[in-house]
Amino acid sequence: MAVTLTPTAVERVRQFMATTPGAVGLHFGVRKSGCSGWAYVVELATEGRDGDAVFEQDGVTVRVDAESLPQVDGTEIDFVKTGLNQQFVFRNPRMAAECGCGESFTTSDRAA
């Protein structure tokens, strides 16, 4: 599988990269958090890390660390604007449940 970006997300990442000297792509992963177990982490990557899975799409590189990959493999990242709000949205086929506030999630295999 892979981590993919919608065209809107590709464009938004390109905009972020254009204003960040040294940016080489996007780092996407998870950290333990919240009542459900995992929270997404999205940041611009300024360097590669040993062991990262690397996915390239339309000239944008997405790097996922080895510990996060079991929780996010197959995820589609989108960027949506609703009224005055804008945010990345994650369509994760491994997500089994989400906390009530939407800040954390769990996977059916709880791998990590």
Q: What residue spans define the domains of the chain?
A: 4-107
HSE at residue 74, side-chain half, CA atoms within 13 A, is 7
Q: What's the CA gap between 48 and 36, in Å, rounded?
A: 29
pLDDT per residue as tens digits for the range 54-111: 999 999 999 999 999 999 999 999 999 999 999 999 999 988 777 766 667 778 765 4
Give pTM, 2 decimals: 0.85
Burial class, 8, CB count within 10 angstroms (exposed 0-12 / middle 13-18 / buried 19+): middle
Please state the CATH superfamily assignment of the domain spanning residues 4-107 in this structure. HesB-like domain (2.60.300.12)
